[in-house]
Amino acid sequence: MDWFGNFSQGMSHLQWLWLMVGLQLLLFGLGWLGAAGVSTDEQVHMRGLAVFNIGVGIGLALIGLRGYLPYLLTHTLSNLCSMLSFTMLWRTGLAMTDQALHAREQALLMAVGAALLLWFGQSPQTGQQRVTVYFLVVSWIAIRGSWQVGRRLWQERLRGTGATMLTVGWLLGGLFLHRGLSGLRSPVSTEFTSDTTPTLVLAYVLLAAGFVANLVFANIVFGRMVRQLRRLSRHDMLTGLYNRRAIVDALQLEWDRFRRGGAAFTVACVDIDLFKQINDRHGHAAGDAALAGTAQALRSQIRPGDVIGRSGGEEFLVLLMCADQDTAIGIAERMRSAVAVAAAIHPDPTRRLTVSIGLATAQAMDVSIDALVARADSAMYLAKRGGRDQVCMAPNSARSAELSVASAI
């Protein structure tokens, strides 16, 4: 207790402030490490943010311990650790926004900056030069990095996040640049522990900036994770198409528009012919490959505005934004043909994969979207009974038991 009392009484208010800022960043870093341990998609980015927070936190905590530890640790190593950590944040921000990492620029900046820090950091007599180098290098990283990342966020319509990134980065970079330029032209010390108003302002700005910067990156990281989860909840992982829930929602939405007086549309039910034989004879891996290949072939033939999804097993539903039967049959024929001629979809090179397609156009007599889909499904089964690898259109009359075969091979 006596040791702690002497320790705490010997520290200035500014040293306590730097120690507090450093501990805050260390806690943020540990939080990012914990989050990285339970994440897979954003694990690399989270680790980069952890390295930044821990590195800068250690650097600032060492500043708070000046007078208790060797000079090289609390001055030179402190600046070097912080500078390298800011570079890591720059790289992480660029990676998170899918930009080039500017590795050569960063490597050159770090090589020159580290060499100068080590050169001037050997003695207190060159402390002003050391800290000037640090401020100038970090100001460049803060201004340039926040501009690159903030601009990309703005372009991606994350304008609030982008504006916050620019504001924090340029404010911090401006303060660092001012301190660096002051060190070049003024004999007054610009050390972190110099008891001046600008140093105190810098400490409080760093305290706030560390908190805000982590909130900004948390918003980016967890926002991407939420969007990914939303996508996974509406897309089939094997084929990349909409899953049953998403395609049914799309059909229901279009049905509601139709009932309110909107344009009619056509539903296509697609089923892979003899798919069970592929699984039985060649295994489920071959079946999965066939499903993925079929999905790609079908998707390649629909138009912008049309929607396709996997409704289950080897079945697909397609929302065709057209009421003209000839147009719908033409699109369905292209889908059927694309699957039939696609290479390497069927695991047996001597055979080809085919699909049967049933079509039904929305009519006033349809009582629900389920009834419309049922008509398309009935047409698809008639196509199978007619010999498979063909397109059948459901009749205009819901009472008619006849279905027309649009094409057969």
314 is catalytic: yes
Q: Which two tokens stand for residue 347?
A: 């695991």
DSSP category for residue 69: B
H-helix or E-strand spanning residue 404: strand 404-407
Helix (DSSP H) and strand (DSSP E) numbers for the chain = 14, 6
Catalytic residue chosen out of the listed positions 105, 314, 315, 333: 314
Distance of alpha carbon 70 from alpha carbon 66, whole angstroms: 8
Q: H helices within 11-42, ranges in order? A: 13-38
Buried b (16+ CB within 10 A) or exposed e, 44-59: ebbbbbbbbbbbbbbb
Distance of alpha carbon 222 from alpha carbon 228, whole angstroms: 10
* Token pair 């948390």: residue: 218
Three-state secondary-structure class, residue 193: coil
Chain centroid to CA 143? 24
Residues 6 or more apart whose Cβ sits within 8 Å of residue 234: 242, 243, 245, 246
Contact 192, 135 (CB under 8 A): no
Distance of alpha carbon 144 from alpha carbon 241, whole angstroms: 39
Which of the residues are catalytic?
Answer: 314
